[in-house]
Amino acid sequence: MDRKKETFGHLLAIATVFIWGTTFISTKVLLKAFTPIEILFLRFIIGWIALSLAYPHRLKIKDRKQELYFAGAGLSGITLYFLLENIALTYTFASNVGVIISIVPFFTALFAHLFLEGERLKLQFLVGFLIALAGVFLISFQGASVLKLNPLGDILAVLAAAVWAIYSILTKKISEFQYHTVQTTRRIFFYGLVFMIPALFIFGFHPSITLLMQPINLFNIVFLGLGASAICFATWNMAVRILGAVKTSVYIYMVPVITVITSILILHEKITGIGVCGIVLTIAGLFISENKPKRKIKAELIKE
């Protein structure tokens, strides 16, 4: 792979997880006025409209079977992932969900090993995964004297991690169709919104226009819709196309790190020594998973 292109892929992944890591603050503010399903539907309808305006060209599918991949990606990465995560948070602690969601790269690597060519599990990746997971655990449970578990909530969080891994695999397959990234992301959003409709009736969808028009709420919902949804899903899908599903998913380790840092700076939350150790371990795990042996790098340069 071209080194400049690979570097660009890494930068896209870093920028994406940085924004995703700050969405915790926006969501926390919005939950005071809206329900999780209301926030979810509003952010993705804004994202879909933004993508439609940014690139108003209809996606012409070459093979009707490809439509199944888009539908699967919308169902897994948009509807199921966010619903499972939000519902899990009503049954268990956010710290529990944060730790469990971090196993996404493991599921991604496992599914990629089973279903994708050229994506193979390596010992170095697994070692980095375990180190990063230990770091995420320390970040999430810093200051907690007792680890409390709720089987239902934790099982839902595991399912959320699994469906996001499925989304990563599906987007990798979709990238092979060679369609424009904005068009593919918009099509995925469309199916996500379609599959979300039944949930609107089940959980109730009655957002207050008055509350929505309040500057703080409007800013945060637009940030989630444009930044965290429209832009980030497009950049994430582009990173997956360049780096592959496994390499890109490793950057999810950085999300809890960014969340802790932004919480300290913006929400003025305190971090313990255990939290600092967690951040160091998480970043170390990321580099170990991504670092290539020198011999392998030289071999790649010779091939190029």
Mean pLDDT of 210-220: 94
Whole-number Å distance between alpha carbons of 90 and 84: 10
Give 289 or 192, the one with higher predicted confidence. 192
**For 182-200, how does the pLDDT look when each residue is reduced to its tens digit (9 = 90+)?**
899 899 999 999 999 999 9
E-assigned strand segments in the chain: none
Distance, CA of 128 to chain centre: 19
Whole-number Å distance between alpha carbons of 261 and 267: 10
Supply the pLDDT for residue 297: 37
Supply the pLDDT for residue 279: 77
Structural domain count, the chain: 1
Supply the pLDDT for residue 292: 58
The alpha carbons of the chain give a radius of gyration, in whole angstroms, of 19
With a cut of 90, say whether residue 48 has pLDDT above it. Answer: yes
Q: Which residues contact 286 (CB under 8 A, 6 or more apart)?
A: 128, 132, 250, 251, 253, 254
Supply the pLDDT for residue 288: 80
With a cut of 50, say whether residue 304 has pLDDT above it. Answer: no
Supply the pLDDT for residue 302: 37
Angstrom CA distances, 277 to 101, 138, 252, 283, stand at 20, 7, 18, 10
Whole-number Å distance between alpha carbons of 1 and 301: 9
Q: Which of 281, 287, 276 is nearest to 134 (CA)?
A: 281
Whole-number Å distance between alpha carbons of 250 and 243: 11
Whole-number Å distance between alpha carbons of 296 and 112: 21
Residue-range definition of the domain harbouring residue 231: 3-303
DSSP H stretches of helix in 143-272: 151-175, 181-203, 209-212, 215-222, 232-243, 245-249, 254-266
Mean per-residue pLDDT over the chain, rounded? 81
**For 146-179, how does the pLDDT look when each residue is reduced to its tens digit (9 = 90+)?**
445 557 777 888 889 889 889 988 988 898 888 8
Highest mean pLDDT pick, 91-95, 197-201, 248-252: 197-201
**For 117-150, how does the pLDDT look when each residue is reduced to its tens digit (9 = 90+)?**
655 667 887 888 788 778 777 776 665 544 455 5
Give 32 or 275, the one with higher predicted confidence. 32
Whole-number Å distance between alpha carbons of 254 and 246: 15
Q: Name the least confident of 44-53, 93-102, 151-160, 222-231.
A: 93-102
With a cut of 60, say whether residue 300 has pLDDT above it. Answer: no
Supply the pLDDT for residue 50: 92
Supply the pLDDT for residue 30: 86
